[in-house]
Structure 1
């Protein structure tokens, strides 16, 4: 049976989740504008980015009502943010770029990692499950955003570390909780770690190796040099 009792969140958790929602919504607005979607499409993409990961988390935890259904004001905040961002970009003649989208995305990744892992810990989940749910919270909104925008999700195709940054941040949250840090300190440590790792990966172009089949590697080695 679904848990229909609203789950209590601390003021710190609420603040972190609000900022994370705004950050991911901005990434959705930028990506939607980059793909030349209309206003409705941009709002939908922003909503998927902002609410998608938390919705999947709540479903897996059988948590009812969903966080954005329980607090409908967030929907109005999202709509206001989308309208304001679109008007601002048009007035300033700003050209949305993929790199511009990466920075709010990195911030949202870290913040959602922290709050998602904390909610799973509060639900008495084992450490590894709490970390996985933190990753789900942080990553799936971006996955939905990219799919709707007809892109292979960056979480899977961008060879710069993405989900790994969230995974590390989740373990920082678990270890901070086990060490008895106050909740605000644990949230900031986890969010800061994941955000800093992703921002560094983007800024310094850290890349994971792409998988290649053995035959493909041998074929490349056998190809004569071109010049």
Structure 2
């Protein structure tokens, strides 16, 4: 999956499920508690967040609903502020994998923030345990012309039968429209560098826990001057299950 909260490590857990023969449907749900909401190197929340999602997969097709709740201390700020509806379609041929997605973003009770839709693809090549990847996302509705790309390396290491370590590192760049919309400068730039890690412990019956860590840094001085957190380390804990 493309989504690991807001990173590039696989968002769908490495879980061993006892799927009945002849039943191609899998489904799951997850709650993820993180220190802040971080998206493409941009810190988007004022405090911790609770990010819940549920998904169902049939063969290469996956549908997901993802919600984001700001856990700010002030009751008037603490709110559910984002719904995402995502459809993924995955292909693979030998060591090459391609996953395409359409993401619809809905912002309840935020009239100043228009709902929008993005399309994306994640192209990767598996070489032993190391997987070079490229992710490219572009807006097709409210912010047409806004796009963000990322290249890097990721890996997954099985540590016994129940534990998997996933890591990733990459750099990302934003288009002029992307940086104008989300940061406030009409400049194309090499935006950010990131590194992340997650450890998934598969408990039993498809249940798992996953502590994770994400470090990001905005690279361009023009962008760094416009945000409160040009560098940030996000920590979080996800719990869920896939069946």
Whose radius of gyration is greater, 1 or 2? 1
Give the TM-score of the pair, scaled to structure 2. 0.28
Q: Which has the higher helix share?
A: 1
Give the TM-score of the pair, scaled to structure 1. 0.29
Q: Which has the higher strand share?
A: 2
